[in-house]
A and B are shown apart, each in its own frame.
Chain A
């Protein structure tokens, strides 16, 4: 065992990167579910964002344009879900699942000519002297702008949900769509907007994997991260900061267990491998002991005649 092989600075910086795709996907889905819609298509929107972002970044040479395209790609795909569930009043679970399957297939099709290509690199933000602060500098001030955007997004969603009228309306639609409708709010429009936001966030998360975390395009490369984001939203009891905490826990412990394996720590590898899932669930379940419940209209179809 040689713990000195683990560089704590690189470790922390590494897990911030590993957690970012999860943060984007989870915060987007959190807003969608707060509006009373259950979109199980996160994985499909992520992988679509991953290839849209990758292809655009490669063609234009600009990673930032890539991220913009990823957000658009994810949102466009989610529009399909919005049409199915809000206009055609289809079952949300089935529509979400089919969105995932569709996204996986569509991305594989778009991505055929992008296998093995190296994407342009998105540079880290230059914080000047801040990056030279011992310990804190290398951990906090050596990242790309998208990583900070993820954290800002969590803060933004939290503030909007908690302090603004728009947040109140969104929550009202999610808690009781009939009451919100009776008050004159356009339930379907609000939900569609939330779904689009969720799609754009998932797309950004996917592009973060294909442009920064790996960086390459491979079919099916999100490999279940969308599903983990979905679980995270539930275990975080629909609270933005808890979702962030959960993502950091999951990303951190995943990274830690790989580090410990590399350092040859005498903990059986099986336990290390399962630890991210177990510890994240335990911590978030303990936190959610305050009985925060799911949005009351979650997953229910709304029709004005009901």
Chain B
């Protein structure tokens, strides 16, 4: 009797103690669409996660699940994270939008942050980066450097984020090279190295000497390297290992400051639902070093363009710009509003082909 009482109280004390410790820590979950070693999109989100751990040390516990399919299965993963006591969950791909909203309804006390989407709730924030600002610089370099005047573009899914990138790159390539033509191939995947490499090879076989990618792995870089005289740009991550050629520059996503900021807000109890959309200026979008394979004058122009975008003097979508069907979109000097950009579902004038619906 005595012994069992002792045991019970000991167990209780232990339970209380561990409970107290658990409450001390803020638990942050991450749902990733690819493996953390993809060298691109998911890699950078994971760097952000590691930065959170570095910043808060013992006060925070992070968990992540990688290679989670977009759609219903992600709901299961998020639900499990919430049940396991996560205080804040980052869902880092567009296709997690509806699942995030659904799970958030079931767990009103858990905060959610969905990347690149547009649906919010009291406990769901959205955040994204203005990748199209970086695409403008890529377009400028691509248009200046192409000799075949054919630029290949590997799209993932026909969503506004990807279409913005295509439009922005095209507008700025066209500005420096009126003869430029875009060949766009949709891979219908974020991460499938073999397929991405195949898409790059096909584009190169069809005459492209610049390949832009909006998929997550470094496979197109390897394919371009194999093919020889082709240039590429790092996507989401620097992909510097493929420099100085084929990779001549890159768009780097820097999520760390945002993630640290939001985790801190949860700790302080100041977290509230909001929409964040930052670009080159605040540093959420970085431009990787422009390599020596780029002629000096083109490099200088690209850096000037970057500075003008960062300072806000120049908006990549500044009129006059027509839509693909020839109808007017932006008048002379007019800049695009965020609402139109967020839901962009049309090509600008000059791009061939139709957007899959």
In the complex, A14 has a CB within 8 A of chain B = yes
Chain A nearest Cβ from B291, distance in angstroms: 15
**Residues in B neighbouring A300, C-beta threshold 8 A:** none
A87 to B67, CA, bound (A): 33
Q: Is the CB of B184 within 8 A of A116?
A: no
Q: Is the CB of B356 within 8 A of A219?
A: no
Q: Is the CB of A5 within 8 A of B218?
A: no
Chain B nearest Cβ from A111, distance in angstroms: 7
Could you say which of A34-42, A146-154, A165-173, A268-276 contacts chain B? A268-276
A121 to B222, CA, bound (A): 12
Q: Is the CB of A255 within 8 A of B194?
A: no
In the complex, B199 has a CB within 8 A of chain A = yes
In the complex, A221 has a CB within 8 A of chain B = yes
Chain A nearest Cβ from B257, distance in angstroms: 25
In the complex, A115 has a CB within 8 A of chain B = yes
Q: Is the CB of B206 within 8 A of A262?
A: yes
Chain A nearest Cβ from B266, distance in angstroms: 30
Contacting A at CB under 8 A, from B190-214, are 191-195, 197-199, 201-203, 205-207
Q: Is the CB of B186 within 8 A of A216?
A: no
Interface string of A1-40 (1 = CB under 8 A from B): 0000111001100100010010000000000000000000
> Given that A115-B37, A270-B356 are contacting pairs, would A223 and B194 also be in contact in the complex, using a CB cutoff of 8 Å?
yes
Q: Is the CB of B202 within 8 A of A214?
A: no
Q: Is the CB of A261 within 8 A of B36?
A: no
Query: Which of B152, B201, B242, B357 is in CB contact (< 8 Å) with A116?
Result: B242
Closest B residue to A271 by CB, please name it: B356
A115 to B219, CA, bound (A): 11
Query: Which of B186, B222, B225 is in CB contact (< 8 Å) with A261?
Result: B186
A293 to B38, CA, bound (A): 41
A261 to B199, CA, bound (A): 10
In the complex, B188 has a CB within 8 A of chain A = yes
In the complex, B226 has a CB within 8 A of chain A = yes
**Residues in B neighbouring A111, C-beta threshold 8 A:** 37
In the complex, B147 has a CB within 8 A of chain A = no
In the complex, B134 has a CB within 8 A of chain A = no
Interface string of B136-175 (1 = CB under 8 A from A): 0000000000000000100000100000000000000000
Query: Which of B36, B152, B197 is in CB contact (< 8 Å) with A219?
Result: B36
A261 to B37, CA, bound (A): 29
In the complex, A231 has a CB within 8 A of chain B = no
In the complex, A192 has a CB within 8 A of chain B = no
Query: Which of B38, B198, B217, B353 is in CB contact (< 8 Å) with A258?
Result: B198
Q: Is the CB of A255 within 8 A of B217?
A: no
In the complex, A264 has a CB within 8 A of chain B = yes
Query: Which of B185, B194, B203, B357 is in CB contact (< 8 Å) with A225?
Result: B194
Chain A nearest Cβ from B114, distance in angstroms: 23
- Additional A-B contacts beyond A261-B186, A269-B186 (15; CB < 8 A): A7-B205, A21-B194, A214-B193, A214-B222, A218-B38, A218-B217, A220-B38, A223-B195, A259-B202, A262-B206, A263-B183, A264-B353, A268-B354, A270-B357, A273-B188
Residues of A within 8 A of B (CB): 5-7, 10-11, 14, 18, 21, 108, 111-112, 115-118, 121, 209, 213-216, 218-225, 254-255, 258-259, 261-264, 266, 268-270, 273
5 inter-chain pairs at a CB distance below 8 angstroms, sorted by A residue, are A18-B194, A116-B242, A218-B37, A218-B38, A273-B186
